[in-house]
Amino acid sequence: MKKLAERGFLEHQPYRGVELLRSGRRAAVAAIRRHRIVERFLSDMLGYPWNEADRLARGFEHELPQEVEDRLFLALHRPSTCPHGFPIPDPDVVDIPDMPPLYGLEPGDAAVVAVPGSTDPEVIKFLDTLGLRPGVRVEVREKHPFEGPLVLRVDGRDRTIGEKVANQIFVKKEQQEEQSA
């Protein structure tokens, strides 16, 4: 904490806590951007599966020179998301948009799926059998009460997923078009 405070990224008051400063948020978002670009490179250009790219990207993302990051981004044709479906933030961004869990959606809501790289491999296999992969559009058909399952429309088919797994998947919710009277 002391080193980060000395670099101007956070303010630390002993026994009171830590507050991330604007410069710290900017540095954190820059690190996330670098990580997601490296993941996209590993997946798209080197053929690693999307669920392995996260682990591999951690090995060299912090040492990646800005010039190399910029060239990778251009070589990848300016991707908007990492292989997991999370947005690649613009270089000037200080905050990353919030992505709620899939279980936070209600019937009628539509969204695009993002799956963290840290998700259990068995859960990823299960999601794959349902067609729930990063970048897939889903629509909530039903949400059963008392933490019951969700019924989703995925690629034209209804799929059921439990609350525990649905809370491990994140989404970029689509804005509903206003209906005319």
Provide CB contacts within 8 A for 165, sequence distance 6+: 123, 126, 127
Can you give the pLDDT at residue 5? 67
What CATH number is given to the structural domain containing 108? 2.30.30.90
- Tell me whether residue 96 is in a domain: no
Q: For residue range 141-174, what is the model confidence (pLDDT) as tens digits?
A: 999 999 999 999 999 999 999 999 999 999 999 8
Is residue 87 assigned to a domain? no
- For 15-34, the pLDDT digits (tens) are 777 777 777 888 888 889 99
- The answer to whether residue 153 is domain-embedded is yes
Domain contains 32: yes
Q: Is residue 149 part of a domain?
A: yes
> How many domains are contained in the chain?
2
111 and 165 housed in the same domain:
yes
Residue 41: which CATH number? 1.10.10.10
- The verdict on 68 and 124 lying in the same domain is no
∠ at Cα 142 (138, 143), nearest 5°?
105
pTM: 0.82
Residue-range definition of the domain harbouring residue 53: 2-75
Q: Are residues 151 and 83 in contact, defined by beta-carbon separation less than 8 angstroms?
A: no
CA–CA distance, 181 with 172 (Å, rounded to integer):
27
- For tokens 């999601």, the residue is 127
Which residue did the predictor score with more confidence, 170 or 5?
Answer: 170
Residues 21, 51: Cα–Cα separation, whole Å? 32
* Tens-place pLDDT, residues 20-71: 777 788 888 888 999 999 999 999 999 999 888 888 888 777 788 999 999 9
- CA 159 – CA 22 distance, rounded (Å): 42
Q: Are residues 63 and 110 in the same domain?
A: no
The answer to whether residues 107 and 143 touch, using CB atoms and an 8 Å cutoff, is yes
Task: Please give the pLDDT value at position 25.
Answer: 82
Among residues 58, 75, 92, the one where a domain terminates is 75
- State pLDDT tens for residues 60-104: 777 889 999 999 999 999 999 999 999 999 988 878 888 999 999
Pairing state of beta strands 137-143 and 150-154?
antiparallel
pLDDT at 178 over 50: no
In 76-149, which residue ranges form alpha helices assigned H by DSSP?
121-130
Pair of tokens at residue 61? 């993302």
